[in-house]
Homo-oligomer: A and B are copies of this chain.
Amino acid sequence: MSNRVEILYCTQCRWLLRAAWMAQELLTTFDQEISELTLKPGTGGIFEVRVDDELVWSRKKEGRFPEITELKQRIRDRIAPGRSLGHADRKEN
């Protein structure tokens, strides 16, 4: 089964709420594409998002959290390439 999304978040930093918020955004936007979304508690400032075990966002690497639009675009590029995200796709001019 593919199109599995995983969000690994730090419980010490209390990042469950933003991880769960992003989970709901992704499961709403990609309700036909995502087969399952797993929330995984971690520690030490971790915040990582994977699609079928491929890392699509790492807070350590990027130095920040993703904007939800960025995250949706990266996930769309892997599970629904070519699909428009509507106005969210238009670059700020």
Contacts and interface: CB of A to CB of B under 8 A. Distances in A.
Nearest to A38: B38
A24 B11 CA distance: 12
Contacts of A51: none
Interface residues of A, number: 17
A13 B23 CA distance: 18
Interface string A13-56: 00011001001100110010011111111000000000000000
A46 to B, nearest CB: 14
Contact of A36 (B23, B27, B38): B38
A17 B41 CA distance: 20
Interface of A: 11, 16-17, 20, 23-24, 27-28, 31, 34-41
